[in-house]
Amino acid sequence: MLLGSIEAGGTKFVCAVGNKDYQVQDSAIFKTTTPEDTIGQCLEWFDQYRDELAAIGVASFGPIEIRQNSPRYGFITNTPKKHWADTDFVGPLKKHFDLPISWTTDVNSSAYGEYVLATLFNQRVNSLVYYTIGTGVGAGEIVNGHFVGELGHPEVGHIRVKRHPDDRDFAGICPYHGDCLEGLVSGPTFPARLGISGRQVPLTNHVWDIMAYYVAQAALDSTLMFRPDKIVFGGGVVSEPFLKKVRREFQKLLNDYVDVGNVDEYLTMPLAKNNGSATIGNFALALKEMNE
Ligand code: ZN
């Protein structure tokens, strides 16, 4: 038996098959072009495993329709991404493979992957928040094993934060809100602020302190709203040295108001290596879908 995973991102789709222990057996990457082409390439790739495939988990960039009773369940909805607005995603999969298919956001799947891995690592984790800070910013939230969000999924990337005094001149880059969290800390803010990519900005640059201040506020808000067992940070912008700065700012802002235990264990990098949280989450959600 094999479980399938599709991680649909704005620049690439990652397809994988894995066993019931969530170990990847094979994977492939396809460039995100048009829905027909990219979803078509995924289906063609999964065809070679048709006989063994038992269920597929899909994690998609959004916004997406997650209400099971909606006629547009399984659609990518009003994304600004060219070609992809109002795209039926689950429909073509169901038509091609008559299998259980789970459907959620990329960050929800990553959150679920980290939740499952925490259990495998014998950590006591019932509630978890997963932030991705990369091309965009978003978060998935699990409370007592369930995703937060019934009518729609959370859009934590667009919360408001208090501006850093040294960052007042930067307008932010979110096309909807300017200086929301995503508008201030996503990867493309580096070229917008400094004219160079994040990879070229040394950790000694003050911009990292400013970003840590914003990310710490997001962690504080998640703590005050959900008090999860831990908050995980993934995505291309995040590194352990950056997270050290975030923890420092977080402790200043929290000011011992809530006991979160060891902050190094509370605000952490993903347990999954190489950005693999979503794939593991997809396998686990596919298996869950199959058993329901
Ligand atoms: Zn925004």
Asked whether residue 59 falls in the same domain as residue 84, the answer is yes
Task: Report which secondary-structure segment, H or E, holds 252.
Answer: helix 240-254
For residue 182, the CA-to-ligand 1 centroid distance in Å is 6
Instruction: Tell me: do 12 and 140 sit in the same domain.
Output: no
> What is the whole-number distance in angstroms between the Cα of residue 45 and the centre of ligand 1?
35
- Pair (152, 67) in one structural domain: no
Q: Residue 184 is part of which domain span?
A: 122-270
Residue 134 CA, ligand 1 centroid: distance in Å: 14
Whether 37 and 92 share a structural domain: yes
Residue 200 lies in a domain: yes
Ion ligand 1 nearby residues (CB, 5 A) = 158, 174, 176-177, 180
Does a structural domain hold residue 257? yes
Residues in the chain: 292
- 175 and 42 share a domain? no
pLDDT of residue 159: 97
Whether the CB-CB separation of 276 and 113 falls below 8 Å is answered with: yes
240 and 151 share a domain?
yes
Task: Compute, in angstroms, the gap from residue 156 CA to the centroid of ligand 1.
Answer: 9
Burial per residue of 124-140, b for 16 or more beta-carbon CB atoms within 10 angstroms, e otherwise: ebebbbbbbbbbbbbbb
149 lies in the same domain as 245: yes
- Confidence (pLDDT) at 105: 94
Integer Cα distance of 245 and 66 in angstroms: 35
Same domain, 160 and 251: yes
Cα of 9 vs centre of ligand 1, distance in Å, is 18
Q: CATH number, domain at 151?
A: 3.30.420.40
The reply to whether 126 and 264 lie within a common domain is yes
Cβ-contact 35, 87 below 8 angstroms: yes
Residue for token digits 């014998």? 122
92 lies in the same domain as 202:
no
DSSP one-letter code for 253: H
Distance (Å) from CA 133 to ligand 1 centroid: 13
Ligand 1 mean position to 139 CA, how many Å?
13
pLDDT score at 79:
86
**96 and 150 fall within a common domain:** no
Tell how far the Cα of 159 is from the centroid of ligand 1, in angstroms: 7
Q: Are residues 204 and 158 in the same domain?
A: yes
**Ligand 1 centre distance from Cα of residue 177 (Å):** 4
Answer yes or no: is 29 within a domain.
Answer: yes
CB within 8 A of 42, min separation 6: which ones?
6, 13, 15, 30
Residue 116 lies in a domain: no
pLDDT of residue 256: 96
Which pLDDT does position 275 carry in this prediction? 87
- pLDDT by residue for the chain (292 residues), tens only, comes to 999 999 999 889 999 999 999 999 999 999 999 999 999 999 999 999 999 999 999 999 989 999 999 999 999 998 888 999 999 999 999 999 999 999 999 999 999 999 999 999 999 999 999 999 999 999 999 999 899 987 778 889 999 999 999 999 999 999 999 999 999 999 999 999 999 999 999 999 999 999 999 999 999 999 999 999 999 999 999 999 999 999 999 999 999 999 999 999 999 999 998 889 999 999 999 999 999 8
Domain count, the chain: 2
Tell me, what's the pLDDT at 149?
Answer: 85
CA 181 / ligand 1 centre spacing (Å)? 7
What are the C-alpha distances in Å from 151 to residues 47, 60, 212, 285? 33, 17, 31, 19
Cα 21 to ligand 1 centre (Å) = 37
pLDDT value, residue 227: 95
31 domain-assigned: yes
Give me ligand 1 centre to Cα 166, in Å.
21
Omega of the bond prior to 63 within 30 degrees of 0, cis? yes
113 within some domain: no
Classify residue 117: in a domain, yes or no: no
Please check whether residue 11 lies inside any domain of the structure.
yes
Q: Is the pTM of this model over 0.85?
A: yes
* C-alpha 175 to ligand 1 mean position (Å): 7
